[in-house]
Structure 1
Amino acid sequence: MYFIYDLAVHLSALGLKILALFRPKIQRFVTGRKDLWAALDAFLEPGRPRIWMHTASLGEFEQGLPVLEQLGETFPEHQLLVTFFSPSGYEVKKGRLPGVGVFYLPLDTRCNARRFVQAVSPEIALFVKYEVWPNFFRALEKNGTPILMFSALFRPGQAYFQPYGGFLRRTLKKATRIYVQDPASLALLEGIDYGNGALAGDTRLDRVAAIAAAGEPLEFMERFKGQRTCLVAGSTWPEDEAAIVPFLRENLPKEVCVVIAPHQVDEASVTALCNRLGPGTLRYSQFREAEADRATFLVADTIGLLTRIYRYADLAYVGGGFRTGLHNTLEPAVFGIPVMIGPHYDRFREARDLVAAGGILSVNGPAAFAKQASRLLADPDTRERIGQINTSYVEKNRGASVQILNGIRKLL
């Protein structure tokens, strides 16, 4: 089975090289890996022990960051490496983590996995949430490296739990320890006779709590918001924008300002969004202080500021719920404000919990968004009451990072 899998990865690599000729993101995915081995050799210091953490993209990195920060404090003698699968994580974090090596994950071929593991020889390998790579897991097992997964979230429909999923199931079982987010995930692991699972919760709660506690101001947001009520729509896709822009253009109260941070920040996507919003729209990349308080809409055409922008929100909308996957609702929820989302959120435990509790409101289109936004923007008491539900949820469920760090200590 490994031969078939390895062949499939090689064929995928060839296909990606062809697609890279037409798609800039895939081009970055391919070309970004060309200098990987030289960069890795330059970073590694002979004789120093190492800890390796792998995350798929920026969202999973934020999930792993509370653990990474504690590792740096607890094991200062170790070199820390972080790898990304996606350009959206690597390009934002490369060179911005002092003392931490940031690299692309090589494609999961047998040769790449063996070469990477032999070069790094980590004392422990950490994988955040969903990341399971058969050749890397096998190479780590042969190297005697413990594999620890955390903030894992499993669903019955995943291949690990299907009759046809034997190969991936065996790969998953190579993990030395798996810390899961919820009891349902733990039960699924027990159902395939994996006995080293543990319930720890979601490290994103620790991350958003730390961001809220840091209280780092953003001068451009201070200027833009002023004394106005602020709605922040984060990580939006065109489908989200189709649901929210009609209200913003036609029925937004005069004393309200809006920040939209689209998921896609390429020039074409940002220009199209600005055109939909119309007059009174200012782009972050063209921010002028003199125009800030006269603009109604601010389009955050950048990556990496959204978590801090949410601090200025009185009401938030989180994108992805009309598309393939809801983005992080905990980032605004921690600031004690109501959060709105699209209709598809069943795969996200915190969204299910907070919709049931009343802290998150799901809308299925423009009319529903307009109804909820109008009500909440006009009623600060209701916003405070709903926001408190979200604050309480974060406080009640934080603390996963401490348990995971204790588990790492036992394996090192």
Structure 2
Amino acid sequence: MMLLYTIGIRLYFVVIYVASLFNQKASQWINGRKNQQFIRINNCIWFHFASLGEFEQGRPILEALRTRHPDKKIVVSFFSPSGYEVRKNTPLADFVYYLPLDTAKNATQFIDAIQPEMAVFTKYEYWYHFFNQLHKRRVPLYIVSGIFRPKQIFFKWYGGLHRKILSFVTYFFLQDEASKQLLQSIGVTNTAVSGDTRFDRVWANAQHPKEIPGIAQFKNDQKLFIAGSTWPQDEALLATLPALYPDWKFIFAPHEIGEEKVNNLVNLLPSITTARYSELIQNSKFKIQNQDATTHHSPLTTLIIDNIGMLSSLYAYADIAYIGGGFGVGIHNTLEAAAFGLPVIFGPNYQKFNEAKQLITLRAGFSISDVNELKGIVETLIGDEAFYSVTSKKAAEFVREHIGATEAILGQIDS
């Protein structure tokens, strides 16, 4: 099995290398690892995140340990460029790296350099050689906000090597009881159901959101629909809404902001009433929306966010949210919007996300499969104030009732 694992890791590298010849993200993945050098330090706290979403998920623990141990160096590693490129200069870490490819040599060199006294991995990413090195050196390794599903390789007859990886973990802090039961079924008992640290993060963000230049002026005291982390399949449906609700403002924050992706979105929307955020703040196009009927300008009703890092604060300005990804492999973060009391709408592929299923049960979240279902739920939320009010309240209460995972975890790893 180790041979197959090694071959799989090497093949993955080859695929990414070939893709890097024509894909920017893959190029960043290759070049970022090729050029980095590790600074030798002693007794750091190492946090690893797959990507940006996991960084935000584990951030409450990172912030808490940073505050509690200001003398300790913090090392953060990312697997994906979408995490590294956005957070490579975060003040929460002393060093930020791409995680090297999981080989015995790379794992030894990396851990020799950073000399961690504790390692914290958020949600998932189980790498044999890195975990093995930590285990050999008796460095405590914690999985926080972990979640498991029956179809994962750990629970298959051929998953022996991956079960071995789990044996290197000091303790699992899990999101739900189902994950605990799954791990117990394969003999893993060093677990606790502590909840999901994302609730702590999004609730804290909702209490103190950042002001984003120009957004209040763009909204102009009108109702605002925000579509966050959208993909082309989502956008094809959502593009029908601005014409149906001319009294509303719309913000699209696509998951990918490459020039081609943004241009395709621009072409779906009425060009005369749509602007990119970068253009708007540079050219003072905010003035357009307040022109009276005697001018020749049309009001600006739709804004496309063409940068990364604003979405979690944008929800503070909104009234309804659509969360993208549900027509692909799965929806993005619904909790960021729900924490602000926003009803959340998303596509059909949400089954892997417990919070989405719970929001649906509460009638604070709504799954749609086509444009007619999208129009139907939007019309209900806009047209029925009583229903909207109850839905909004349930969304916020759902998040508030699930905070506390951070303190539960810190009570064990930092006692």
Q: TM-score, normalised by structure 1?
A: 0.95
| Structure 1 equivalent of residue 19 of structure 2 | 19
| Structure 2 residue 120 is the aligned partner of structure 1 residue 115 | no
| Structure 2 equivalent of residue 133 of structure 1 | 127
Give unpaired runs (5+ residues) of structure 1.
none
Of 256, 259, 270 in structure 2, the residue corresponding to residue 264 of structure 1 is 256
Contact 2:76 2:93 in 1 (8 A): no
Runs of at least 4 residues off by over 6 Å: none
2: distance between equivalents of 1:115 and 1:144? 17
**Residues 2-401 of structure 1 correspond to what in structure 2 (within 5 A)?**
2-37=2-37, 40-41=38-39, 44-45=40-41, 48-249=42-243, 251-252=244-245, 254-279=246-271, 280-287=273-280, 288=284, 289-291=286-288, 294-401=299-406
1: distance between equivalents of 2:62 and 2:362? 31
2: distance between equivalents of 1:313 and 1:13? 41
1: distance between equivalents of 2:349 and 2:10? 34
Using the TM superposition, give the Cα deviation of residue 23 of structure 1 relative to its aligned residue in structure 2, in angstroms. 1.3
Q: TM-score, normalised by structure 2?
A: 0.94
1: distance between equivalents of 2:379 and 2:149? 36
Using the TM superposition, give the Cα deviation of residue 98 of structure 1 relative to its aligned residue in structure 2, in angstroms. 4.9
2: distance between equivalents of 1:317 and 1:8? 37
Which amino acid is the alignment partner of residue 32 of structure 1? G
1: distance between equivalents of 2:347 and 2:396? 21
Which amino acid is the alignment partner of residue 287 of structure 2? A
Contact 1:235 1:318 in 2 (8 A): yes
Contact 1:230 1:257 in 2 (8 A): yes
Contact 2:327 2:349 in 1 (8 A): yes
1: distance between equivalents of 2:381 and 2:75? 44
Using the TM superposition, give the Cα deviation of residue 340 of structure 1 relative to its aligned residue in structure 2, in angstroms. 0.7
- Deviations along 1:133-161, whole A, 9 cap, x unmatched? 11111111112111100101110110011
Using the TM superposition, give the Cα deviation of residue 227 of structure 1 relative to its aligned residue in structure 2, in angstroms. 1.1
- Deviations along 1:109-145, whole A, 9 cap, x unmatched? 1110111111111011111101111111111111211
Further displaced range: 368-377 or 203-212: 368-377
- Deviations along 1:287-330, whole A, 9 cap, x unmatched? 13323552110001111000000011101000111111110000
Contact 1:229 1:377 in 2 (8 A): no
In the superposition, relative to structure 1, how do residues 408 and 22 fare at CA in structure 2: closer, same or farther (>3 Å)? Answer: same
2: distance between equivalents of 1:100 and 1:72? 10
- Deviations along 1:211-230, whole A, 9 cap, x unmatched? 11113222311111011000
- Deviations along 1:348-406, whole A, 9 cap, x unmatched? 01001110111101111100101111221233332221011111111111010111112
Contact 1:117 1:139 in 2 (8 A): yes
2: distance between equivalents of 1:203 and 1:84? 18
Contact 1:108 1:135 in 2 (8 A): yes
Contact 2:242 2:249 in 1 (8 A): no
1: distance between equivalents of 2:303 and 2:275? 5
Identity %: 39
2: distance between equivalents of 1:315 and 1:374? 11
Query: What RMSD in Å do the two structures reach over aligned CA positions?
Result: 1.4
Using the TM superposition, give the Cα deviation of residue 245 of structure 1 relative to its aligned residue in structure 2, in angstroms. 1.4
Contact 1:247 1:366 in 2 (8 A): no
2: distance between equivalents of 1:206 and 1:299? 28
2: distance between equivalents of 1:137 and 1:344? 32
2: distance between equivalents of 1:361 and 1:162? 33
| Structure 1 equivalent of residue 295 of structure 2 | none
Contact 1:336 1:384 in 2 (8 A): no
2: distance between equivalents of 1:193 and 1:292? 62
2: distance between equivalents of 1:10 and 1:99? 30
2: distance between equivalents of 1:35 and 1:385? 53
2: distance between equivalents of 1:99 and 1:192? 36
